[in-house]
Amino acid sequence: MLLAEKTAEKKIIFSGMQPTGIPSLGNYLGALKNWVSLQDEYRCIYCVVDMHALTIRQDPAALRAKARELLALCLAMGIDPEKSLLYFQSHVPGHAELAWILNCFTYMGELNRMTQYKDKSLKHADNVNAGLFTYPVLMAADILLYGADLVPIGDDQRQHLELCRDIAIRFNHMYGDVFPVPEAYYGKVGARIMSLQEPEKKMSKSESENPNNVVYLLDRPDTVLSKFKKAVTDSGSEVRFDPDKPGISNLLTIYAAVTGADAAQAEREFAGSGYSDFKRRVGEAVVESLRPIQTRFDALIRDKEALDGLIKTHAERANALAGRMLRKVKKKIGYPI
């Protein structure tokens, strides 16, 4: 049986991440850590969506390196290649082929309403390309190509998933029950990690203005400790969760997430601590939580032959699985067979 093939017991989950940089601690604690826990309950398909990354101009060598690093990091975080599919989107031509077909079942008005297209068009006004406009159709193809039942999403992807569902329903209405209509997956809510320098903003891997805002998964111990030493705190001296103490609350959230403590435990542990000692100890906890991931990553990225072998094997498995749906779609729409 192919990895991620649907069984009577387990539904298929599809999720992807762009290789636009090393994931942040916020990405990991908010989403990627949950990818690991989903593997035992679902058939998981995890994709490095390097095709989506082309809507923004990329340096070819850097894109190739970042895609490889992201895939290796997923393995280092605990994605089990015996349980889940993990592959590069560009290694499965079916994504592009199905996207073209689905473009012909998607209306211009639907794409014009996508708020993310409007936002990115303003942000990248010098490069408003057709790929940016049809990005949601490629996303729909990603999901429908594998007959995914569930898609983990954040608030910024709700509109895209709704369009995917509309396309699937429209296609099924014309040709029968071809695609499962995917549902949003709202599982265990990961920790919402905010910027270390601007705790009113979410920590983002794309942060470039101030590198001290973000902890990246491959930041080395000295760098991590330095960033936490410089982290913004609040007035007063008490370490506690409080809406009026966003900096302290964010650091407590991080500490609880990496140690497994609950909010009350975290507060008790730092009762009487000064801010300097508190920030140091949070930084040390983060260093220890990242250490095994970084150790595994370093070994994986050095073993080029083993990593290349895994990439090749999973691309073959993904192509075989995608091919089943693509053949079904081609037959339905009337392509010669």
Q: Which residue among the candidates 11, 202, 328, 332 is catalytic per the annotation?
A: 202
Separation between Cα atoms, residue 279 and residue 93, nearest integer Å: 48
In the chain the beta strands, taken as DSSP E runs, fall at 12-17, 43-48, 85-88, 150-152, 183-185
* Set 33, 205, 245, 279: catalytic member: 205
**CA pseudo-torsion sign 298, 304, 306, 310:** positive
Residue 202 designated active-site: yes
Exposed, middle or buried: residue 260 (CB in 10 Å: 0-12, 13-18, 19+)? exposed
Active site residue 120: yes
5, 97, 179 from 176: Cα distances, Å? 21, 20, 9
Annotate 191-211 with three-state secondary structure: CCCECCCCCCCECCCCCCCCH
d(CA 35, CA 108): 34
The residue annotated as part of the active site, out of 6, 33, 66, 120, is: 120
Please answer whether residues 14 and 47 qualify as being in contact, where contact means their C-beta atoms are separated by less than 8 angstroms.
yes
- The SS3 assignment for 180 reads coil
| Residue the block writes with tokens 């983002």 | 204
Distance of CA 185 to the CA centre of its chain: 13
Q: Which residues are annotated as catalytic?
A: 120, 202, 205
